[in-house]
Amino acid sequence: MAEIAGVAGPGAHHAPTKRANWVPYALLVPGLAWLFVFFVLPMITLGSQSLQEGSVEAGYTFTGNVAIYAEALQKYWPQLLRSIGYAATATVAALVLAYPLAYYLAQKAGRWKNVMLVLVIAPFFTSFLIRTLAWRTILSDTGPVTSIAQKLHLTDLLQAVGLTNNDTLLSSKFAVICGLTYNFLPFMILPLYAALDRLDPRLVEAAGDLYASPFQGFRHVTWPLSLPGVVAGTLLTFIPAAGDFINSRLLGNTQTVMIGQVIDSQFLRVLNYPLAAALSFILLILILGLVTFYVRRAGTEELV
């Protein structure tokens, strides 16, 4: 080896090492540039926008108007809380629906695994908007779902717990949460699937061998080992759901307005850019805070 290096000369020997050093960094550049131009710069612009005063016609000037945040909170705290509440409910619903499905896919589906995974992803082949509009048809007042729910007195039950306002399903909290759950379900299933796919079934067997009933085996072995998937799935569901503005508009009523819808109308209809920007930042900080708290808890395995 030493001889070969000697023959090739020191220059030829060192050149490839040097190139190997800067190549990985060079590969990072496009991605970093992309994030800088389309994430960091807009964030700065948005932050500055929230602290400006003026109007679309007269133009905006930076005045450092921090009071806009207080105003935004005062005016729209119900929508903010509602968004967090709906998103949390939809996340829990998605977790309950997705977990058994992901478990089956990962551990029991055998040769049907790939087919079923494609079916999970299949809704993405249509647009988000179309899928949400389809729920209007599904839950329409004259549709079979509503009439069956009425026959089974489920509508009465939903009305009693305050999820609907009358004996129909559409234009209600219930419909909005259904839409959110449905739209973000694949984001819950896939991380759960990935975590449960790695679960060694022999560990569950060992738990059974050590006197753990199926429920205890789930609680002490399957669930903790799938926590990374649960955390990833809940974050991927909760974060976009909290900022969603389509479901509440298409499936809700005036009492179910979510913060995303407010930001949307402030930006595009009312044209109150500073208020919209301030609301965006408040939502961002709120979600960041909740997520940090949640991930810390999950990290210490106290999350049950």
Task: Pick the closer one to other proteins by CB: 60 or 218.
Answer: 218
Closer by beta carbon to other proteins, 71 or else 200: 200
| Segments in the chain forming alpha helices (H) | 2-8, 10-35, 41-50, 67-103, 113-121, 128-138, 144-151, 154-160, 173-197, 201-209, 214-217, 223-242, 246-251, 259-265, 273-299
3-state secondary structure of 298: helix
Q: Which of 30, 59, 118, 301 binds other proteins (CB under 8 A)?
A: 301
Judged by beta carbon, residue 208 or residue 240, the one nearer other proteins is 208
Assigned token pair, 80? 């903010």
Smallest gap from Cβ 191 to other proteins, in A, equals 17
The nearer residue to other proteins, 78 or 214, going by C-beta atoms, is: 214
Cα separation, 301 vs 139, in Å, equals 39
Per CB under 8 A, does 111 bind other proteins? no
SS3 assignment, position 153: coil
Distance of CA 242 to the CA centre of its chain: 8
Of positions 87, 95, 175, 221, contacts other proteins by CB under 8 A: 221
Residue pair 181/94 in contact (Cβ under 8 Å)? The answer is yes
Judged by CB under 8 A, the chain residues 191 through 220 that form the site for other proteins are 200, 202-203, 205-214, 216-217, 220
Q: Is 98 in the site for other proteins (CB under 8 A)?
A: no
CB of 295 vs other proteins, minimal distance in Å: 17
The residue (of 126 and 213) whose beta carbon lies closer to other proteins is 213
Instruction: Give helix 273-299 / helix 41-50 axis angle, nearest 10°.
Output: 120
| CA quadruple 134, 136, 141, 145: dihedral, nearest 10 | 50
> Which residue, 8 or 206, is less far from other proteins as judged by CB?
206
Residue 299 engages other proteins in binding (rule: CB under 8 A): no
Nearer to other proteins, 179 or 217 (CB): 217
Would you count residue 303 as binding other proteins (CB under 8 A)?
A: no
What Rg value do the Cα atoms of the chain yield, rounded?
26
Least gap, CB of 120 to other proteins (angstroms): 27
State the nearest-atom distance from the C-beta of 269 to other proteins, in Å: 51
> What is the distance, to the nearest Å, from the Cα of residue 30 to the centroid of all Cα atoms in its chain?
26
Quote the least distance from Cβ 196 to other proteins, whole Å: 14
Number of residues that bind other proteins (CB under 8 A): 20
Q: How far is the CB of 108 from other proteins (least distance, A)?
A: 16
Q: Is 224 in the site for other proteins (CB under 8 A)?
A: yes
Q: Which residues of 93-113 are buried (b: 16+ CB within 10 A; e: fewer)?
A: bbbeebbebbbebbbebeeeb
Report in angstroms how near the CB of residue 85 gets to other proteins at its nearest.
32
CA distances from 78 to 30, 87, 102, 241 (A): 41, 14, 35, 16
Q: Are 105 and 194 in contact (CB under 8 A)?
A: no
Cα–Cα distance measured from residue 244 to residue 263, given in angstroms and rounded to the nearest whole number: 10
Q: What's the min distance (Å) between Cβ of 96 and other proteins?
A: 23
Give the footprint of other proteins on this chain (CB under 8 A).
Answer: 200, 202-203, 205-214, 216-217, 220-221, 224-225, 301
